Amino acid sequence: MKKMRKIFAVLLTLAMVFGMSMTSFAATKDTATITVNNADKATLTYAQVIKADQSTETGWAFVNTEVANAYKTAFKATDDQAAIKAMLPAANVDANKLGAAQAKAANHVTFNAMANPQTVDAAGVYLVKATEVGYTYNIMSAYIGFGEVTITGEKYDYPSLVDAELGAKKTPTKVEKEAVDTDNVVATGDILTYKVKTNVPFIAPTDTDKTFWAYDELTGAEYTEKETATITLGGENVTTAYPINWNTDKAKFSVDLSNMINDANSNAGKEVVITYKVKVTANNDIITNKATAGHKGTTDFGSKEINVYQGNITLTKTGENDVKLANAGFEVRKDSKDSDALKFTQLTDGVYKYDPNGTDTVTEVFTKADGTVKVQGLDVGTYYFKETTAPKGYSVNQNQSTATLNVKDKASAVLTTTTSMTDTKLSALPSTGGIGTTIFTIAGCLIMIAAAGLFFASRKKTNK
């Protein structure tokens, strides 16, 4: 029994010693993962630029001299450790300087293909690059540090490697164009609002061309109310900082947005919206607007062209037996027979453009030799054609012809429709002094002579 007590005491002592030394024997996590979110379709690569080094003042060191020089230059530091101190604490680092350092350092390391997530076995800072068609990405940096880690209830003691999770910041290289009109149909003289939308691109600080421009070009319209044009960056009005250069002779404008670019790419991905107005002047029922964005004079960051449409109506004037009648004159009204006659500018024989603000306009339009008259530059609605001048030998038709232009949802082409009107020949009227009375006079005289002859013949016979 004494022996058993001694054995139990020894075992209890060993258990207490083992329990007190558990901390010394606790496991550490010797690998970590780098995970990049918002980059599902991107191709990822990574490279280490800072590593752990317990022999230095900060405990960190650059992976090579060229990388160190990139960071020293960006942070204007005299030595490697001063450059690393400039990034501590991380929350207070100068984003512009860090962005410049990363971009330059990326030229002096070898990037390897990266899984997502990617496992690494060394603490430090890793640069991550992403590429994807239709997008630009900021260079990202992942910090793998030391710490206590708990994974699914299992605790790992210091100095375990801590995982890093990044949110990719990507910018679409495209331009969106929008005409603020519900049905995409307008009339000549209408004021139309356009919105050009693009995004500030990521441009590496090491790139020699850091320009960023937006361009716009019109056909069938002219810029108007220029003082109301606005530019926003990420929803903030920045119009005064980015003046628009209007080239009214060529219906174009350009705007230099290069100051939105900085070494930190802090604006990369933010939406730029340019809003402006135009007045429709089209002669062919199509208003075309093309917007582009890119380095100066290029379309590197995308382009977009959109069309807005007008409507036209062709009236055919006929007589009896479907004879086509020229020189028939009409007034055209919209939405009501009693509204004011519309004003038109003649483009060619039998073709007229609606022109409410024109200086040399007419309210009467005439058919050409084939009996047709075309009016264009019209918005959706019902139009009434009232004959005001009939062709020679025909009477004015007192009934008005109608034609309706309509569209379902949004127009994707010029709206066209037709109508017609038939005239009748003038009716014959009685005339005076014509040959008709002469014939009757002669006939009457002949009858009287015949009657006289018969009378005298009759008397002569009686006397005998």
How many residues appear in the chain? Answer: 464
**The two structure tokens encoding residue 417:** 């429709």
397 residue type, one letter: N
- What fold characterizes domain 31-171? Immunoglobulin-like (2.60.40)
The least confident of 139-148, 197-206, 228-237, 410-419 is 197-206
Residues 6+ apart with CB under 8 A from 225: 191, 277
Check residue 169 and give its pLDDT.
Answer: 86
Which residues lie closer than 8 Å to 93 by C-beta, 6 or more apart? 86, 87
pLDDT at 18: 47
pLDDT for the residue 404: 98
Write the CA distances from 378 to 71, 196, 311, 357, 358, integer angstroms: 64, 26, 5, 14, 15
- Residue recorded with tokens 């590593």: 51
- Indicate if the pLDDT at residue 31 is higher than 60: yes
**Average pLDDT of the segment spanning 457-462:** 58
The percent of residues above 70 in pLDDT, for the chain, comes to: 87
Structure confidence by residue, pLDDT tens digits, 414-451: 999 999 999 989 876 665 555 555 555 565 667 777 66
Asked if the domains at 31-171 and 311-422 fall in one CATH topology, the answer is: yes
The helix-helix angle for 95-105 and 65-75 (nearest 10°) equals 160
Q: Please spell the DSSP secondary structure of 372-433, one letter per residue.
A: EEEEEEE-SEEEEEEEEEPPTTBPPP-SPEEEEE--SSS-SS-EEEEEEEE--BPPP---SS
Beta strands in 32-117 (DSSP E): 32-37, 43-52, 60-62, 112-113
The domain locations on the chain are: 31-171, 173-307, 311-422
What was the pLDDT predicted at 17? 46
Q: Phi and psi (nearest 5°) for 22?
A: -60, -40
Cis peptide before 205 (omega within 30 of 0): no
pLDDT above 50 (res 24):
no
Residue 409: which of 182, 257, 206 has the closest Cα?
182
Would the pLDDT of 224 be above 90? yes
d(CA 231, CA 239): 5
Give the pLDDT score at 446. Answer: 72
Q: What is the pLDDT of residues 34-86, one digit of tens each?
A: 999 999 999 999 999 999 999 999 999 999 999 999 999 999 999 999 999 99
Q: What was the pLDDT predicted at 423?
A: 92
Q: Each residue of 321-350: pLDDT tens digit?
A: 999 999 999 999 999 999 999 999 999 999
User: What is the dotted CATH code of the domain comprising 311-422?
Assistant: 2.60.40.10
Neighbours of 309 (CB within 10 A): 21
Distance CA 289, CA 193 (A): 11
d(CA 106, CA 139) in angstroms, rounded, equals: 9
pLDDT at 7: 53
Class of domain 173-307: mainly beta
For the record, the structure tokens of 243 come out as 């003046």
Q: What is the pLDDT of residue 22?
A: 46
DSSP letter string, 438-451: HHHHHHHHHHHHHH
Question: Could you give the CA distance from residue 187 to residue 334 in angstroms, rounded to a whole number?
Answer: 12
Three-state secondary-structure class, residue 275 = strand
